[in-house]
């Protein structure tokens, strides 16, 4: 017997032994078990599973191929789509399937678990139906003059302001004050655009709100393009009262978004689709703010064309350019980001892997939406000062040069995904410089 088949046998035996004891909630860490649309579909009735009983999993085809290649049998699929399949499995198998994926492939398994077959199959069709593309690149007349207005100074000053809060911890008053400051800043910068307004979104269970700026689309108002990053910070060792400047993680991402809001706000652009800029609360404690917002969006059936996540942009860990995360993201949208960088950002790009649901893009992906994420470096070359009192602007070199290309990409993403309304033409003063 090979080592591999021994491990599979052990896995299955363990699964059988622990089937009754395995708690359902425990395999949420790092594994996608979101009952997609579960809340929205509460009416759907079919054989409900008990904790010992079966679950229905929705497994991506690429993961299925890996599981099969490793000799683990899940039986025949009950149904399949172009990208995933539904299997009935004992509940106790899931933690072991997750361990198996980790041990064998060094990463999380790409499955969603559902309590009923109906939900698993609804999610299967939702997975196929929620693709945001095709993504097209045809807004150069707007994007080119706008990206030339992006300034390092704007980004640097926002990082300085946010890092000056003692911390932006989700339970701290200073974390609430930082959110309020951001809401006001986005309102000031974008308030001149028709209908634009920013608001604080409260969450149950902690005091820090998320910040949402909405610039309503002039034509396809119900289709939404989202640019986000987390506004909270954390000192991993010090707790609530400890200093956590979070200059790189993630004042930098919020500063990049704020620079894009400044440029768009002064442009006279009317987007065809609705644009939302989001500063998420409570990312550092389990993507909690973004999970609330993405779940709410799924519950309401919100149409999201694409989501981009900015988390850490200012530390030049492994050289020039923009790094695209390649896990927990939408492959088509990520490929499109590569094109936008080539055409507009003027820097090289490469992909890198987090290996787990490391930031808020994963909340959107979990809820069936096309999401991508950009990063400052390869994950190996990351800033080691994050989550400490040493995550200061000085530790990232004192300036914001590395973030400039990220802000150009944000402007390009906003305009190329939302598109300029046909009613508005590029103002002459934008093309003269
Ligand atoms: N910005 C980090 C994620 C990150 C760090 C990505 C380094 C790549 C390299 C994020 O704010 C964070 O700390 N996330 C948590 C996970 C979350 C689910 C609590 C983490 O990585 O521990
Ligand atoms: Zn962090």
- Paired tokens of 60: 């991506």
Ligand 1 atom with the smallest distance to the CA of 383 is: 7
- Mean pLDDT (the chain) is 85
CA–CA distance, 193 with 174 (Å, rounded to integer)? 30
| Residue bearing the CA closest to ligand 1, atom 4 | 358
Q: At what angle do helices 401-418 and 331-340 cross, to 10 degrees?
A: 120
pLDDT given at position 119: 83
pLDDT given at position 349: 98
Distance 84 CA to ligand 1 centre (A): 27
Three-state secondary-structure class, residue 164: coil
Please name the residue ranges forming H helices in 70-211: 93-105, 117-129, 140-147, 152-163, 173-190
| Residue bearing the CA closest to ligand 1, atom 3 | 358
Q: Between the CA of residue 56 and those of 27, 121, 129, what are the distances in Å?
A: 15, 9, 20
CA–CA distance, 147 with 137 (Å, rounded to integer)? 15
Does 156 score more than 70 pLDDT? Answer: yes
Mean pLDDT of 200-211: 98
Mean pLDDT of 82-93: 78
**209 φ/ψ angles, rounded to the nearest 5 degrees:** -90, 160
Distance 284 CA to ligand 1 centre (A): 7
Is 249 in the active site?
A: yes
Q: pTM for the full model?
A: 0.74
CA–CA distance, 333 with 318 (Å, rounded to integer)? 24
Q: Which of 311, 327, 330, 391 is catalytic?
A: 311
Residue 359 CB less than 6 A away from ligand 1 = yes
- pLDDT band, very low/low/confident/very high, at 19 (cuts 50, 70, 90): very low
- Paired tokens of 202: 């409260």
Distance 360 CA to ligand 1 centre (A): 9
| Residue bearing the CA closest to ligand 1, atom 17 | 286
CB distance 369 to 304 below 8 Å: yes
Higher per-residue pLDDT: 366 or 87: 366
Distance 118 CA to ligand 2 centre (A): 37
| Residue bearing the CA closest to ligand 1, atom 15 | 358
Sheet strands side by side (includes 273-280): 197-201, 210-215, 273-280, 220-230, 303-310, 371-375, 322-325, 349-352
pLDDT given at position 312: 98
CA–CA distance, 257 with 154 (Å, rounded to integer)? 11
Please name the residues in contact with 128: beta carbons below 8 A apart, sequence gap of 6 or more. 81, 82, 83
> How confident is the model over 405-423, as pLDDT tens digits?
999 999 999 999 999 997 6
- pLDDT band, very low/low/confident/very high, at 11 (cuts 50, 70, 90): very low
Residue-range domains of the chain with CATH: 3-122 (no CATH), 140-431 (3.40.630.10)
Please name the residues in contact with 62: beta carbons below 8 A apart, sequence gap of 6 or more. 110
- Paired tokens of 90: 């004992």
Ligand 1 atom with the smallest distance to the CA of 357 is: 18
pLDDT given at position 39: 29
Ligand nearest to the CA of 280: 1
The length of the chain is: 433
Kind of pairing between the strands at 54-60 and 84-90: antiparallel
Q: Which of 63, 232, 248, 249 is catalytic?
A: 249
Does 148 score more than 80 pLDDT? Answer: yes
**Which of the 8 DSSP states describes residue 420?**
B
> How confident is the model over 253-295, as pLDDT tens digits?
999 999 999 999 999 999 999 999 999 999 999 999 999 999 9
Residue 354 CB less than 6 A away from ligand 1 = yes
Cα–Cα nearest to 46, from 101, 88, 90 = 88
Cα–Cα nearest to 358, from 383, 325, 380, 332 = 325
- pLDDT band, very low/low/confident/very high, at 30 (cuts 50, 70, 90): very low
- pLDDT band, very low/low/confident/very high, at 74 (cuts 50, 70, 90): confident
Distance 358 CA to ligand 1 centre (A): 5
Is 342 in the active site?
A: no
Residue 284 CB less than 6 A away from ligand 1 = yes
């Amino acid at each position: 017997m090979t080592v591999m088949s021994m491990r599979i046998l052990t896995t299955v035996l363990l699964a059988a032994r622990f089937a009754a004891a395995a708690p359902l909630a425990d395999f949420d860490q790092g594994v996608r078990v979101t009952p997609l649309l579960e809340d929205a579909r509460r009416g759907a009735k079919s054989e409900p599973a008990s904790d010992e009983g079966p679950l229905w999993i929705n497994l991506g085809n690429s993961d299925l191929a890996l599981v099969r290649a490793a000799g683990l049998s899940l039986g025949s699929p009950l149904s399949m789509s172009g990208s995933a399949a539904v299997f009935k499995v004992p509940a106790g198998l899931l933690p072991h399937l997750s361990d198996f994926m980790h041990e064998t492939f060094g990463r999380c398994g790409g499955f969603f678990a559902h309590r009923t077959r109906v939900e698993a199959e609804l999610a299967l069709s939702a997975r196929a139906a929620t693709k945001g593309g095709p993504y097209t690149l045809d807004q150069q007349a707007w994007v080119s003059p706008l990206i030339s207005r992006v300034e390092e100074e704007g980004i640097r000053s926002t990082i300085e302001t946010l890092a000056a809060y003692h911390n932006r911890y989700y339970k701290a008053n200073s974390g609430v004050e930082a959110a309020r400051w951001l809401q006001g800043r986005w309102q000031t910068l974008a308030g001149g655009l028709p209908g634009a307004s920013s608001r604080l979104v409260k969450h149950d269970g902690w005091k820090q709100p998320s910040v949402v700026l909405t610039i309503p689309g002039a034509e396809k108002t119900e289709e939404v393009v989202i640019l986000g990053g987390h506004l909270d910070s954390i000192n991993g060792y010090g707790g609530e009262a400890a200093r956590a400047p979070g200059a790189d993680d993630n004042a930098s991402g919020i500063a990049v978004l704020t620079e894009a809001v400044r440029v768009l706000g002064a442009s006279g652009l009317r987007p065809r689709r609705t644009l939302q800029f989001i500063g998420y609360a409570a990312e550092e404690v389990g993507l909690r703010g973004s999970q609330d917002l993405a779940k709410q969006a799924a519950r309401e059936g919100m149409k999201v064309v694409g989501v981009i996540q900015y988390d850490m942009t200012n530390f030049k860990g492994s050289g020039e350019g923009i790094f695209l995360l390649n896990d927990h993201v939408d492959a088509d949208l990520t490929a499109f980001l590569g094109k936008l960088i080539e055409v507009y950002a003027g820097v090289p790009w490469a992909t890198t892997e987090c290996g787990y649901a490391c930031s808020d893009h994963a909340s959107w992906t979990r809820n069936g939406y096309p999401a991508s994420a950009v990063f400052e470096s390869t994950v190996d070359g990351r800033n080691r000062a994050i989550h400490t009192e040493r995550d200061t602007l000085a530790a990232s070199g004192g300036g914001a040069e590395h973030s400039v290309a990220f802000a150009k990409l944000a402007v390009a993403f906003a305009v190329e995904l939302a598109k300029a309304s046909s009613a508005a033409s590029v103002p002459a003063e934008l093309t003269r410089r």
